[in-house]
Amino acid sequence: MDPQEAKRQLLVLRARLLEQDEALSESLGISLEEESGEESSDQHSADVAAVTLTREMDLSLRSTIEHLLAQVDRALEKIEEGTYGLCDRCGAPIEESRLQAVPEATLCLEHQRALERQEEI
């Protein structure tokens, strides 16, 4: 993939991720009482449970966004370094089809799979 085209795509993705992160930050800044619409002493346990579940999902999504932002930032660094398209682990070229599908990829498919297997443990 052309590094300049990759940079353009990565910057668009980065902006989108930052918007989502900001929206989640605002959502997470609302107290449980405000979100459920009741005073804490009068809250029904089902309402609190639903709000808590939503918050947990938002926190999980926020973690995913932060991880993706780190990947995007690393790919942008690699463009600046002139190493975009090379695996961070072995230095081999990352498959062109992989870069087309996942421009933030910094690992070849073999090393990405190995990393994912480690995370499952």
**What value does the mean pLDDT take over residues 25-37?**
67
**What value does the mean pLDDT take over residues 38-55?**
67
Amino acid 71: pLDDT:
97
Instruction: Kindly indicate the confidence band of residue 27, based on its pLDDT and cuts at 50, 70 and 90.
Output: confident
**Can you list the domains of the chain with their CATH numbers?**
3-120 (1.20.120.910)
Amino acid 68: pLDDT:
97
pLDDT in tens, 4-17: 999 999 999 999 99
Whether the CB-CB separation of 1 and 105 falls below 8 Å is answered with no
Taking alpha carbons only, the member of 98, 101, 100, 121 closest to residue 111 is 98
Amino acid 49: pLDDT:
76
- The CA–CA distances, whole Å, from 107 to 17, 18, 39, 80, 90 equal 21, 23, 50, 17, 8
Phi/psi at 42 (nearest 5 deg)?
A: -100, 0
